[in-house]
Structure 1
């Protein structure tokens, strides 16, 4: 009796590329955990990096502005208008990316 073959089609959550693979049903696979963490936006640097602050006060640097033009524009405009912005950072498999934005009012 021949082994069953599974056909998986997925979209990469970081770059939107479609991935496709055929695998035997007997093979085991790891499933990535995807985490979402909220941070306050502190600064946007000229080189496209952001500074973020977690709820417990830790600073996170080294994350780039999102590639999504609409989200990038909203971040820049909100920051320029001195709004208090909270960004959601999605992380999985050693990669991180800003995926959402909340405007919680003017900065104090």
Structure 2
């Protein structure tokens, strides 16, 4: 009988960060894991079956967090990992020491996301400094989170 009294340092919710999908079922503007990066598919092409083999799918994707380009080739009948991508909007309440104070629609607060170090981050800071009220869109996948957009609030 196995000893089940082991120490568990962390517990997962049971939801996997990725799920398998047949390569031929992937579509442009969908998401896929390319070389360990969560990517949005920007280009797909399928080669014909050869004398001894499967049709191959050539995928080109842009990393949803860094913007870098990744490519991969996979037989159309094989499975590829697809990231579970979650998009959520938060109201920006404050910026303190480079971190954003955010509130979701349920009133839950979080202060663990940094202002992005890019043009979007500069736009967020400028709008906040001007006293504007707006939401930020946060994308979450495979353990990463990033602010990807701004949305003006409509009252």
Q: Residue 55 of structure 1 corresponds to which residue in structure 2?
A: 105
Corresponding position: 1:40 with 2:91: yes
Structure 1: gaps spanning 5 or more residues? none
RMSD (CA atoms): 1.8
Per the normalisation by structure 1, the TM-score is 0.82
Long gaps (5+) in structure 2: 1-51
Local SS of the residue matching 2:64: coil
Per-residue CA deviation, residues 45-99 of structure 1 (Å, 9 max, x unaligned), is: 22x2211001111111211112331x21221122112221211111122211111
- Alignment partners' CA distance in 2, 1:76 and 1:99: 14
For structure 1, which segment, 11-20 or 26-35, has the greater mean C-alpha deviation from structure 2 after superposition? 26-35
- Distance (Å, rounded) in 2 between the aligned partners of 1:102 and 1:44: 17
Residues paired across the two proteins, number: 103
Q: Which has the larger radius of gyration?
A: 2
Following TM superposition, the consecutive aligned residue runs of length 4 or more in structure 1 with deviations greater than 3 angstroms are: none
Structure 2 residue aligned with 1:29:
80
TM-score, length-scaled by structure 2: 0.60
